[in-house]
Structure 1
Amino acid sequence: MIDIEDLVVRRGTTEVLSGFSARVAPGESVRVAGPNGSGKSTLLRVLAGLTAPDSGRVTIGGRPPADPAVRSVRGYVQEPPPLYEHLTTGEQMEFTAGVWGVRPQEIRERADALGLAERLDVLVGDLSLGQRKKLGHVCATAHEPRLILLDEPFNGLDAAAEDAVRADLARWRSDGRTLVIVSHSDASVAGLVDRTLMTRARTETDA
């Protein structure tokens, strides 16, 4: 599903990703790991179509990441999640349902499993970090995408919410969806991934 060849992404004069290559098969679940500053989140942003490569080739199902056909089958759980702070939690769910053409009740049922049932009338801007993370997880995957990109999906979650997210990942994996998960902890994704892709920080010897 995903083909990456000699990917280079620069920030100013620094190469955040330098010659990264990988292939992820349809239905495969992979973890992306590496030291701080090695481009893990940048890689997800490239796959999400939000950051353009400076060089190299990236395709998803044979199409570039920004292609509209890819957007419809991809979900991106960001860190931090991009939400509308002036909306209530319930309004954010309704807006997301309209964007993806799903029933608001479907989103609310998944949100309930993450402990958000009592926060529907609370402004998104007043939610705690963990609550925003839960809402972002639900909204980013409301359309049940075939490709799901997740950036540190367990950060800031309480134990119950972590279990619920883990159950989502296990269900998606068993459904044959493709998962790309950035996680600093091997233990947190144990049993949920098939293998690990390593990024590395650029050093002076690479110059």
Structure 2
Amino acid sequence: MPAHAPIEASIELDGVMAGYRQDAPILHGLSLSMNAPGLYRVAGSNGSGKSTLLELLSGFLQPWQGSVRLCGVDAASPQARRLRSVCRTTPAVYPSMTVQDHLTFAARSRRTDPKASRDRVEKYGLHDWSEQPAASLSTGNLRKLWLLMCTVADTPVVAIDEPFNGMDAQGIEALIGELNEWAGSKVIVLVSHTVPEGLSLDHSFIFRRAEMDI
């Protein structure tokens, strides 16, 4: 691929079998294409493989069989890191670091401009807590911080697990606006039991324990 060739946002899973114990696969022969920008919602019962899908996209979990590719690149390869932003359900922060410290740290780790997050801090209603340590944040504000950290980079693939849980109305409104905007140029995988009003879904996938309906 030429060094400056445009990246086409896509996710492709082909015949994937994966899990956490070799004798207990969670996903069986999963084939799934998200070959155009859009908002792809994933829902289903507990244990059906939603978070497992997220871990496959993150590259942390590798399939026992089949392949997972992001924009044509193997999800487990070092090259895939620049292609994705992944936000899991449980925040991982340093209690004594401030909100602004976390966002600066996240931006530098992804080689982006820390100033770019300032408008988002205002939009999500975190400005008054910018200089407060993470340990002092409410559950909802901590979730906002975690989301902003995980999505600080401009990547063609974004995967987010249950981001609306515990978030207040301002945060939900801000996130809906960003997801709808990103869907015009990115592949967004949203694991969510609920679909807030105003969120424009392009596709929905329902996972079940023994099968998957699309």
Shared fold (TM-score, shorter chain, > 0.5): yes
The AA in structure 2 aligned to 1:67 is: S
1:51-78 Cα deviation digits (max 9, x unpaired): 1112221111222112232211211121
Residue of structure 2 equivalent to 1:111: 121
User: Amino acid of the residue matched to residue 26 of structure 1?
Assistant: A
Distance in 1 (alpha carbons) for counterparts of 2:206 and 2:33: 12
Identity rate of aligned residues, in percent? 30
**What is the CA–CA distance in structure 2 between the aligned matches of 1:126 and 1:50, rounded to whole Å?**
30
Contact kept? 2:39, 2:179, Cα under 8 Å: no
Which residue number corresponds to residue 4 of structure 2?
none
Cα separation, 2, equivalents of 1:19 and 1:86:
44
Pair 1:200 & 2:208 matched:
yes
Q: Deviations over 1:99-131 (max 9, x none)?
A: 122222221221121111111222223322211
2:101 alignment counterpart: 91
Superposition deviation, residue 89 in structure 1: 1.1
Give the corresponding residue for 1:16: 26
Q: How do 1:113-152 and structure 2 match up within 5 A? A: 113-152=123-162
Matches for 1:1-207 after TM superposition, within 5 Å: 1-12=10-21, 13-174=23-184, 176-185=185-194, 187-188=195-196, 191-202=199-210
Aligned-residue offset at 1:190: 6.0
CA contact (8 A) 2:103 2:149 kept: yes
Equivalent residue of 2:54, what SS?
helix
Aligned position for 2:6:
none
RMSD of equivalent CA atoms: 1.8
Q: For residues 31 and 103 of structure 1, what CA distance do their matches in structure 2 show?
A: 29
8 Å Cα contact 1:33/1:182 also seen in 2: yes
In 1, Cα distance between the equivalents of 2:146 and 2:67? Answer: 29
CA distance in 1, matches of 2:135, 2:62: 30
Q: Which runs of 4+ in 1 moved over 6 A?
A: none
Normalised TM-score (structure 2): 0.87
Q: Distance in 2 between matches of 1:50 and 1:189?
A: 33
Give the 3-state SS of the residue equivalent to 1:188 in structure 2.
coil
3-state SS of the aligned residue for 1:37? coil
Q: Is the 8 A contact 2:70 2:83 kept in 1?
A: no
Over 3 Å counting, the alpha-carbon distance change for 1:32 and 1:170 in structure 2 is: same
Contact 1:93/1:108, CA 8 A, preserved across alignment: no
What amino acid does structure 2 have at the position aligned with 1:4?
L
TM-score (norm 1): 0.89
Secondary structure (helix, strand or coil) at the match of 2:19 reads strand
Q: Which runs of 5+ in 1 are unaligned?
A: none
Secondary structure at the aligned position of 1:106 is classed as: helix
Render the CA deviation track for 1:142-198: whole Å, top value 9, x for unaligned.
112111101112111001110000011011113x1111111112x327642211122
Q: Structure 1 residues 83, 26: CA separation in 2 closer, same or farther (over 3 Å shift)?
A: farther
Gaps of 5+ in 2: 1-9
